[in-house]
Each structure stands twice: as structure tokens, then as C-alpha cells.
A and B are shown apart, each in its own frame.
Chain A
Amino acid sequence: AQSVSQHNHHVILSEAASLELGCNYSYGGTVNLFWYVQYPGQHLQLLLKYFSGDPLVKGIKGFEAEFIKSKFSFNLRKPSVQWSDTAEYFCAVWATGGNEKLTFGTGTRLTIIP
């Protein structure tokens, strides 16, 4: 069965700092990878996705993620964070050919200090 690990439980950064949130998954086959964001009081929103092709994918609001197959990783990055990026971030994996479900990590709470 697939699983997802997010290494950082809570990250605190100042505005304009660079961000990298770690995500590792375990599954031997082909995967689709996602980052979702949950802003305070709002529902889960898709930030970006990787299905195939270029391993560097760009999402909304200046976020990007790189799929490194050899490391089973899909880390989220942003060069310069803003106060409005304060939110909970979830990495998720869909194992193609496996159970038809989205498996989430435990989430990383990001707090941006103005």
C-alpha cells in the first residue's frame, strides 16, 4: 500500500524567505502526485500536480515542485513567500493501477511572519 511522509510538521518563515517543503512517498509503481493547500477557514485546493513528462511542475501562486523518481520525492518550493501563503500544505499520491484512492501526508503547517 502506498504511503506519504511529510517531514516538516510546522514551518515558520519571514516574508520573502525561500520555501521548501519535503514530501516522500512509498510505492513501487507509477504515481500521480499532488500538492493541496488549505488556507485558514477554506477548503482544500489543488496547488499543483504531476502526472508525467517534465518533472518540474509549476502551480498557482508561484509554487513549483520537482518529482525525483529515484528519491521517491516531490518537494514543494517557492522562491519568496508572502504572508498570504500562511496555510496547511498537504502532499498526496495516487497510485495508478493500485487502490483507487488519494493518499495524503500528515500536512505541514506554514506560518509566514510579516
Chain B
Amino acid sequence: DAGVTQSPTHLIKTRGQHVTLRCSPISGHKSVSWYQQVLGQGPQFIFQYYEKEERGRGNFPDRFSARQFPNYSSELNVNALLLGDSALYLCASSSTTSGNIQYFGAGTRLSVL
């Protein structure tokens, strides 16, 4: 079975641009969460979606948004990029049968210049 897949792997953008990151959950998982991991820090929660509805939101500005599609895949959008948005963005999926166990993808490395 395929794990959580994220695309693209790496991305370079300039300040002020917009970026869209994509995530496909493990087959059968209906919940997707997004995390930001800055170098030297633990992942920070951004959003959780379940059955296409937002279930949780972390302490991130409105420039960050996300959505989940009928096939449970998800997009994370970041507008008006800042240098500080440079980070590894992680997607995790989970199922109701596995409790709160989050299974992570390899992440998208975003560099903002």
C-alpha cells in the first residue's frame, strides 16, 4: 500500500508569491492534517480536515488556507509568501479505526527567496 504522498518534493518561490502544496492520504484514511517544520524545531500544526470539513486550525495567519477534496486528498495554499515561510511542510493522514495515530508523508521543502 502506498503511504502518504506529497508533491512537489521541493519548491523555490520568491517573496509575495503564492504556493499550493498537495497531499494524498493513505487509502481509506479520511482525515488529513498539515504541519510546518522549521529547521531545528518540531512540526507545528496548521490544519486538520476530516470528511472535507475543517476540524482544527493552528496559530497561523490567514495567508494559510487548505481544503480537502471528495477523494480525501488535500491542498495547502499559502499566499503572499514571506521569508519566514521557508520550511518543510508535512502532511499526515489518519483513520478513525487507528485512533489519533498520524502517518506522515516525506514533506515538501519550500524555500522562499
Contacts and interface: CB of A to CB of B under 8 A. Distances in A.
Interface stretch (A61-69, A72-80, A103-111): A103-111
A101 B48 CA distance: 7
- B interface, how many residues as a size bin? 20 to 34
A20 B44 CA distance: 24
Contact of B43 (A32, A42, A94, A104): A104
Interface residues of A, number: 25
A44 B44 contact: no
Nearest to B58: A101
Interface in A88-114: 90, 92, 94, 96, 99-107
Contact of A44 (B43, B99, B100): B43
Interface string B77-113: 0000000000000101000000111111111000000
Interface string B44-68: 1100100000011010000000000
A6 to B, nearest CB: 8
A46 B56 contact: no
Given A100-B56, A101-B56, A102-B33, A46 B44 contact: no
B104 A44 contact: yes
A71 interface: no
Contacts of A102: 33, 35, 43, 45, 92, 100, 102
Contact of B42 (A32, A90, A101): A90
Contact of A46 (B41, B90, B101, B107): B101
A35 B48 CA distance: 20
Interface of B: 3, 33, 35, 40-45, 48, 55-56, 58, 90, 92, 99-107
Nearest first, the 4 closest Cβ-Cβ pairs linking A and B are A104-B42, A100-B56, A44-B104, A101-B45
Interface of A: 4, 6, 32, 34, 36, 42-46, 49, 51, 90, 92, 94, 96, 99-107
Given A6-B42, A46-B101, 4 more contacts: A99-B56, A101-B48, A102-B33, A107-B41
